[in-house]
Amino acid sequence: MTAPLVALYAVVRGVIYVALLLLVGAQILGLVIKYAGPSDATGVGRDLRARLGRAVMPAAVILIIAGMVRGVFQVGTFVDPGDSVTAEMVRSVLLNGTWARAWMLQLAAAIVLLGALPLRRKRGVAPDTVITVIVFVILWAETGMGHGAGDTWPWITGRVAYLIHLAGIGMWIGTVGMLTLVALPALSGEEQLPDLARVVKAFSIFGRTGASLAVISGVTIAAVYSHLSIGLIVRSTWGRLLLLKLTAFIGVLALGWYNWKVVTPALEMRATGSEARLRRAVRIELVLGAIMLAITTLLVVAALPGE
């Protein structure tokens, strides 16, 4: 593929990552709302849950569309300039091999999710546990389309490491994204500060857990690919991208700590300007998270250290 198409392919992968993280974040925010949000008896509680339900479906639709586009680009990576695309080539790329099986599984699971979401309003038809299982399958499929499915790892350990990494970032950054889309608009205003404080405080437990999972799995992945060699990291494109991602990651960690130790207590005490401070910190956190995702889309296709 030409350089512009390679760049566009990276954008498509980035969109897929955003959808994945938001789907994970929706599951976490659902738990937070269930145990720390306003009661269903209040108009605010009903509005909060309705907003969450409406936010999940676009993520599923985007994942399906971007996944189909990803298949087109994947075929394109096997076409040399001047060559024509044949039906046999398309079948070989999209139907055979680990990548193809993972791609088909993710698309199928995303379609099932899209069909199950409207049914969750009917008690017993599509409970939250079923939605969570489908999201897990979607994440697992994603691990089959990157370095984690390569020969570097024994058996499925690479895919498990990447699954933990994706889930951890989703629990953290994905839920921050869902908080921005759902909780902050629904719990706006002075009278809603107690509810907002409870939601943010409850999320901080999941956020810290997700950050810990992301750090542990990320260090493991980096150690395996670099063979614990700083020189390999510094000299390789993959390693330099990793260092850039680490820089953004540290920034997000610092903001997360600030929200946990400074902003959340201020919300609980109804301090003046605490809501505005939270919104500002969350926006910066999401910008840094977007930078991390952009770098991740390049890491997926960059040559590993020593290759």
Task: Give yes or no for residue 301 having a pLDDT over 50.
Answer: yes
Residue 147, CB-side half-sphere exposure with 13 Å CA sphere = 21
Q: Give the ranges where the chain is alpha helix by DSSP (H).
A: 3-36, 43-76, 87-95, 98-116, 128-142, 157-169, 175-178, 184-186, 193-226, 230-235, 237-258, 264-268, 274-299
Q: Does the pLDDT at position 39 exceed 70?
A: yes
Neighbours of 137 (CB within 10 A): 17
The pLDDT confidence band at residue 217, using thresholds 50, 70 and 90, is very high
b/e per residue 178-194 (b: at least 16 CB within 10 A): bbbbbbbebbeeeebbe
Q: Which of these ranges, 12-21, 63-72, 237-246, has the smallest mean pLDDT?
A: 237-246
Whole-number Å distance between alpha carbons of 285 and 297: 19
Cα 273 from Cα 190, distance rounded (Å): 10
pTM over 0.75: yes
Structural contact between residues 224 and 152, judged by C-beta atoms closer than 8 angstroms: yes
Q: Return the residue matching tokens 């498990």.
A: 160
Q: What span, in angstroms and rounded, lies between the C-alpha atoms of 248 and 136?
A: 26
